Amino acid sequence: MQQPTLLYFEDEEALAQQLALVSGMPLQCIERHTFPDGETRLRLPTDLPERVVVLRSLHSPNTRIMDLLLAAPTARELGARHLTLVSPYLAYMRQDMAFRPGEAVSQRLVGRWLAELFEAVITIDPHLHRVHRLQDAVPADQALALSAAPLLAERVFREQADALLIGPDGESAQWIEQAARAHGFDHGVCHKTRHGDKDVAIQLPDVPVRGRCVVLLDDIASSGRTLVQASRLLLEAGARSVYVAVTHALFAGDAEQVIRSAGVRHIWSTDSVAHSSNVVSVAPLIAQGLQELARC
């Protein structure tokens, strides 16, 4: 079977290059122009094969979703018959119910749009909470959720083998337990209550932290307040040092600054979203995922 072409946007060239290298897919760029009024013009390569993979992480999601709304049908007009979206960070997964009457259930709506545009969708550590399977949130023919937590845990183990691994909230328990099983880390999970975008209350787990090097492991750092609050409590409780390992380094606004000011010694992240803290590449993981889908 002919290799699919990997289409990418210029601002994700680093990950695209890595992915092309490990997967052997030929790489072509989608040209993107923003008009003065904010509208987007895309230009795709005109020599597309039957199978196309589009790489688009959905941080700063609103313009990037528009990129996909324009790119996918254009790829079909240019001859593509099978489209796979590789979205290492998949946005809008947290609003999985109407918390107050009248709220849009964004997870369901965005998931449906993507499923209408693409035959297959691959992502990494999507924030699935009340909806457990990616396929239920994104009902494409194929929907594959990969996890970068084992890669991050490996990195943590190399740097701080005796770390106490802490998840800042209930949702992180899955990654904490997996990492603890693989490397024998002592571990625990906090209880978190969110009162607002930048207002979270955290309760530490009942594990001794005094004198320990603690690594907070989570899927997303967005406003950074979850990590700030957890770090402060850990340091107040006598932790020797606090490090952070996250899959998706969104770091909105002043997030990185407030995390560092809270006393976090170092931040490790994956390149699912390009950021200066990236130390783990998700390209090999995505390449495996693409192979897995191709076999089905």
Range 73-76, long-range pairs (CB < 8 A, 24+ positions):
73/117, 74/42, 74/44, 75/7, 75/44, 75/48
Helix or strand (DSSP H, E) at 52 = strand 51-55
* 3-class state of residue 187 by DSSP: strand
Indicate the residue among 84 and 277 with the shorter CB distance to ligand R5P.
277
With a CB cutoff of 8 Å and minimum separation 6, the contacts of 205 are 166, 188, 189, 190, 191
Half-sphere exposure of 61 (CA within 13 A, CB side): 15
Region from 41-49, 76-84, 146-154, 215-223 binding ligand R5P, contact rule CB under 6 A? 215-223
What are 223's two structure tokens? 């406003």
192 annotated active-site: yes
Q: Say which of 51, 56, 64, 192 is annotated catalytic.
A: 192
- List the one residue from 222, 231, 247, 277 that touches ligand R5P (CB under 6 A): 222
- Could you say whether residue 12 binds ligand R5P (CB under 6 A)? no
- Could you say whether residue 224 binds ligand R5P (CB under 6 A)? yes
- List the one residue from 12, 125, 169, 271 that touches ligand R5P (CB under 6 A): 169
- Could you say whether residue 218 binds ligand R5P (CB under 6 A)? yes
Burial group, residue 227, by CB count within 10 angstroms (0-12, 13-18, 19+) = buried
- Could you say whether residue 226 binds ligand R5P (CB under 6 A)? yes
Indicate the residue among 198 and 266 with the shorter CB distance to ligand R5P.
198
- Could you say whether residue 275 binds ligand R5P (CB under 6 A)? no
CB of 155 to ligand R5P, least distance (A): 19
- Please say whether the dihedral angle defined by the alpha carbons of residues 95, 260, 263 and 210, taken in this order, is positive or negative: positive
Catalytic residues: 192
Site for ligand R5P, rule CB under 6 A:
127, 168-169, 171-172, 200, 218-226
